[in-house]
Amino acid sequence: MRRKLGSGAKWEDIVGYSRIVQVGNIIEIAGTTAAKDGQVLFPGDAYNQTKFILELFEEKLKAFDSSLKDIVRTRVYVTHIKDWEKVGKAHGEFFALIKPASTLLEVSALVDPQMLVEIEATAIIDRV
């Protein structure tokens, strides 16, 4: 069984992807940034961009009868490695007790120069 959830972003149809896909007990969350209605939120603020993204994950996982507790892996992309502590602080506020495997990488750019952080995640539901 495959379940999909989109965010309504125009890029989903243009590029051909879903924001979240569940196959069996595995949920994959596509790279997500702090944007709403085509506008980047919290320009220049990596901490609040990270918080927004993780709050969005928390909200969207509910549609799959899941939660942040099911996340086993995060991949965090930043455009400035100097922001790692701000991003890490926000990540820790959500995952301090969950402690998923995580990678943080610097990338040369995201789709919009005001986007400082993009995060993707994998969740596994281990209850029947």
pLDDT of residue 52: 98
Looking at the structure of the chain, the number of domains it has is 1
The domain that holds 86 is classified in CATH as 3.30.1330.40
pLDDT of residue 33: 95
Residue 38 has a pLDDT of 83
d(CA 97, CA 27): 20
Q: What distances in angstroms separate CA 119 from CA 38, 51, 84, 92, one per listed residue?
A: 17, 11, 13, 14
Residue/partner pairs of 56-62 with CB below 8 Å, 24 or more apart: 56/32, 57/29, 57/32, 57/119, 57/121, 58/94, 60/5, 60/7, 60/19, 60/20, 60/29, 61/20, 61/27, 61/29, 61/123
pLDDT score of 80 more than 90? yes
Residue 128 has pLDDT above 70, yes or no: no
Per-residue model confidence as pLDDT tens digits over 40-70: 999 999 999 999 999 999 999 999 999 999 9
- Average per-residue pLDDT for the chain: 93
CA gap 126, 128 in Å, rounded: 7
Q: What is the pLDDT of residue 3?
A: 86
Place of tokens 């086993």: 72
Q: Which domain holds residue 111?
A: 2-124
**pLDDT 10s digits, 82-118:** 999 999 999 999 999 999 999 999 999 999 999 999 9
